Structure 1
Amino acid sequence: MFSKESLLTNRLKSIKYAIKGALLLLKKELSIKIQFCIALLVIIAGFVFNISTTEWIIQLLAIGIVMSIEGLNTAIEEIANFIHPEYHNRIGYIKDIAAGAVFIAAAFASVIGLIIYLPKIF
């Protein structure tokens, strides 16, 4: 049986590892760095254009989804490279699908941004 202390300690360790992973992504992955910069610009735009609470929620969800899927894409690519370092058609297919998931999320996030900001700009 687990004590409450060990459960709490394990959760805190999990959070520590999750933060470490997020920081590794931001430090080492160019695509996440670019997406993070875009996210900061969109957040600044939210303040400039005084978007509604609902628009903030939708915007932040879109940012979180794109960046999370990019993190998963990076993990999939790292696993694939570890398992099969040289080029292989099946590994390429897996990587393409993971990249496609990021593209879909980013495309829909862009549409959300246009829906929120175009009426405010024009």
Structure 2
Amino acid sequence: MSHSTWRAKNPIVSFRHAVEGIAHAFRTQRNMRFHTIAFSLVFLAGLILRLPRVEMLALVFCAALVLITEMFNTAIEATVDMITQSYHPAAKFIKDIAAGAVLISAITAVLVGAVVFWGAVRPETLSLRLIQPPTVPVFMGAFVLLLLLVLVGKIAGRKGSLLQGGVISGHSAIAFYLAGVIVFLVPQPAVALLALGLAALVAQSRVEAKIHTLREVVAGAVIALALAALVLKVPQWLGAHLPSPWFPHPK
């Protein structure tokens, strides 16, 4: 293979190669899957608890650091295995150092998360923060989380590509997430039915085009509506029902 074949011809090809690398790491590395799932749950908890933007950014930065070091560790292990398949003390030393970097980043992420969430559940501020209406960063954060869940499902399902096909319909998920936002925030049945109807038409178009099956568009719809409910309605319900004395009802 010539050297030129290893070069990306344009930025789009380079981006595709990068995405393929992330997908390969997720499919083949158990720790990568664990870190991704853990980050998704932590990010969801942050949205539900209405964490301030600075604290959410701290969580995202720590999660990204863990994922980056895990991918470097995977690349280093693959490089060492490509060079030698037999045991060598130097090879073990290299792999141990790479694994140690992942461990340090993971411990750092846990410590930062513990500090952030410990401060977030203080009784004097939690209930008041939860009953506040959701802001634009909450909507956008939930939307980004939805895209992450859809991509993870597509990668894990090993069907179609990241942009088309797959075990979860991204178009259906996005349409029903937007519909869910309208349903939960606009107290008008006619508007809610119209939003859900338009989302259903989007899902139907994916089935008729034979890009997705009925099960795949339903999966996207269920994930999107569940996420919208968790982020938009559950916090207000918790803020209104958390018991005293730790979480007094707002007057």
| TM-score normalised by the chain length of structure 1 | 0.89
Distance 1:39 1:47 in 2: 12
Q: Residue type matched to 2:44 in 1?
A: I
The separation in 2 between residues aligned to 1:87 and 1:114, in whole angstroms, is: 39
Give % identity.
Answer: 28
Structure richer in helix, relative to its length: 1
Indicate yes or no: 2:76 matched with 1:76: yes
Q: Residue 90 in 1 paired to residue 60 in 2? A: no
Aligned to 2:99: 99
Runs of 4+ in 1 over 3 A off after TM superposition: none
Shift of 1:10: 1.2
Hey, what's the Cα distance between the residues in 1 that align with 2:121 and 2:36?
Answer: 23
> 2:108 matched to which residue of 1?
108
Kindly state the Cα deviation for residue 21 of structure 1 after the two structures are TM-superposed.
0.5
Structure with the bigger RCO (C-alpha within 8 Å, sep 6+) is 1
Q: CA deviation at 1:120?
A: 2.5
- The amino acid of 1:103's aligned partner reads L
1:121 Cα deviation after fit: 3.4
Match of 1:47 in 2: 47
Shift of 1:84: 1.0
Residue 65 of structure 1 aligns to a residue whose secondary structure is helix
Deviation at 1:47, TM superposition (A): 1.1
Q: Deviations over 1:90-121 (max 9, x none)?
A: 00000000000011111111111011001223
Amino acid at match of 1:39: F
State the partner residue of 1:6: none
The AA in structure 2 aligned to 1:26 is F
Question: What residue in structure 1 maps to residue 131 of structure 2?
Answer: none
- Across the aligned residues of Structure 1 and Structure 2, the Cα RMSD in angstroms comes to 1.0
Question: What is the match of residue 13 of structure 1?
Answer: 13
Alignment TM-score, normalising by the size of structure 2: 0.44
**CA distance in 2: counterparts of 1:57 and 1:119, whole angstroms:** 15
SS at match of 1:19: helix
Structure 1 unaligned residues grouped into runs of 5+: 1-8
CA distance in 2, matches of 1:81, 1:121: 46
Q: Give the residue type in structure 1 aligned to 2:63.
A: I
Question: Is there any run of 5+ residues in structure 2 with no aligned partner, and where?
Answer: 1-8, 123-251
SS of equivalent residue, structure 1 residue 90: helix
